[in-house]
Structure 1
């Protein structure tokens, strides 16, 4: 269920704001979105996996806090990111 190194590098290269960027809000939100989507598909098959469900809720909360931070800091970057990821804003 965890992201492989290649998957993570692909996400980082796609959403990085500059060269060598691995920790910007955009990159973190994109990685969390991929992990959330993977957990959602896992939980559709394993309904009673409550530990994974708790982890999913934690990841959703972390992504929400990062999105709020990005929205308050730079609205244009926030809107570009949610349209690129296909999230509701």
Structure 2
């Protein structure tokens, strides 16, 4: 599988408060970004996989919602995670 427990812990440790802090918005955004990148690569080779395309659109929406939440809650945290993940130009 492309995303095992060790990979998740590494993502949460890098972007969250700790490796076990799976509820922080930054950690979830980082995890969604990793999954979005993987699904995008999959869709480049399997362009007629409509179930994966739908999953990708839903993930992008979830990430957008979390980013909107962070914008309203704490703009500095939003700017930090966007810069760290390279989501904006």
TM-score range, shorter chain: over 0.9
Equivalents in 1 of 2:83, 2:60: separation in Å? 18
Tell me how large the CA RMSD over aligned residues is.
Answer: 1.6
TM-score (norm 1): 0.93
1:30 paired residue number: 30
Select between 18-27 and 2-11 the one with higher mean Cα deviation.
18-27
Q: How many residues align?
A: 89
Deviation above 2 Å: which 4+ runs of structure 1? 17-20
Give the gaps of 5 or more residues in structure 2.
none
For 1:1-89, list aligned pairs within 5 A: 3-17=3-17, 20-88=20-88
Identify which of structures 1 and 2 has the higher relative contact order when contacts are C-alpha pairs closer than 8 Å and 6+ apart: 1
TM-score (norm 2): 0.93
